[in-house]
Structure 1
Amino acid sequence: MLYEFDRGSTAPEATKNIQAVYGEEAVGSSTCYRWFSKFRSKDATLTDKPRSGRPVDFDDEALQGLLDADPHQTTRELAEQFNCHHSTVERHLHALGKVHKYGRSVPHQLSKDNLVQ
């Protein structure tokens, strides 16, 4: 969109040009209008601005340590220990590549030893 803006295109023209290359689902006209108004206000940064809200301060290493000590813990039990919601624990378990099977958290990807077993 910045390229189209620098070229002198209007928002509808930019939408049409982008959709011609990337398809109808690539960008909507309202998105182009919003970005063009941002560019017109002399703000050509393409990075996200800091957002308000609660910062993420979750210790994945501590989670891994608790799982190593007792892999049979549920996400709700882990959430109580971290004083957070169980869905937060689930997200971090997924990021660590763990899934809950057979009453314990196990690696999502099987190792060669697991495949042999």
Structure 2
Amino acid sequence: MLLLYEHRLGSFTQAAPGRFNKGMGRGTAHNTTAARWYQLFNNGGFELDDQPRDGRPSIFDLDALKALIREDPHQSSRCLADRL
């Protein structure tokens, strides 16, 4: 969403990640990510939701993950992965 905002302000692709990283912390945004999104925006692709794509559909059970997190929010990602 922030990249779309920057794009609409007319910011250069290379400038936006630098501002994000300065304000939100180093590594928040990357130039490659900004370039990919700017290319989509320049081609009229302003839809920010995930789009359907080719390939095998995900079999990940998001509801099961949410239930495990509610059960114990202090679990590590490794522990969650083992349990799923």
Q: TM-score, normalised by structure 2?
A: 0.63
RMSD between superposed Cα atoms in Å = 2.7
- Structure 1 runs (4+) greater than 4 angstroms displaced: none
1:9 counterpart (4, 11, 15): 11
Q: Does 1:95 align with 2:75?
A: no
Q: CA deviation at 1:23?
A: 1.2
The one-character-per-residue Cα deviations of 1:47-92 (angstroms, maximum 9, x if unpaired) are 1111223446xxxxxxxxxxxxxxxxxxxxxxxxxxxxxxx7xx76
Q: CA deviation at 1:35?
A: 0.3
Amino acid at match of 1:35: W
Amino acid at match of 1:15: P
Amino acid at match of 1:19: N
Max Rg structure:
1
Unaligned runs of 5+ in 1: 57-87, 99-107, 110-117
Taking only the aligned residue pairs, the percentage that are identical comes to: 30
Amino acid at match of 1:43: G
Q: TM-score, normalised by structure 1?
A: 0.47
Unaligned runs of 5+ in 2: 73-84
Bigger fraction of residues in strand: 1
Higher relative contact order (CA 8 A, sep 6+): 2
Distance 1:95 1:15, change over 3 A: same
